Amino acid sequence: QSALTQPASVSGSPGQSITISCTGTSSDVGTYNLVSWYQQHPGKAPKLMIYEVSKRPSGVSNRFSGSKSGNTASLTISGLQAEDEADYYCCSYAGSTIVWVFGGGTKLTVL
């Protein structure tokens, strides 16, 4: 199965907002509200930031928000901070046969 499509990199200055897109198909993102987002700092395990498209786990800053339109999900980070610099991955359910597929990852640089 194909990975979900994410931009390789995005950047923003402290205090700004950025959005990372995650494009799938009608077989995954477009059909199921089971999209999650993960933050990964170098040498660390991924951390869940958003689940079920737009829900935030307890302890995750409300500067992180998620949404979906058609076959594309998005992660928005507002009020960028230096510690937000990391790789971000989206993940979606893709049906009972393929099950779960990840995006290729996006490197966020805080300028």
Partner 1 sequence: QVQLQESGPGLVKPSETLSLTCTVSGGSISNYYWSWIRQPPGEGLEWIGYIYYSGSTNYNPSLKSRVTISVDTSKNQFSLKLRSVTAADTAIYYCARDRCTSCFSGSFDPWGQGTLVTVSS
Cβ pair 3, 98 in contact under 8 A: no
Rounded (to 5) percent helix, strand, coil in the chain: 5, 50, 45
- Return the number of the residue (78 or 104) whose C-beta is nearest partner 1: 104
- Return the number of the residue (3 or 10) whose C-beta is nearest partner 1: 3
- Return the number of the residue (18 or 90) whose C-beta is nearest partner 1: 90
Among candidates 100, 111, 105, which has minimal Cα distance to 42? 105
- Return the number of the residue (15 or 57) whose C-beta is nearest partner 1: 57
Residue 71 Cα distances to 21, 38, 42, 77, 98, angstroms: 10, 19, 29, 20, 17
- The minimum distance between CB 63 and partner 1, in angstroms, equals 19
By the criterion CB under 8 A, which residues form the site for partner 1? 1, 3, 34, 36, 38, 44-48, 51-52, 57, 89, 91-93, 96-105
- The minimum distance between CB 107 and partner 1, in angstroms, equals 11
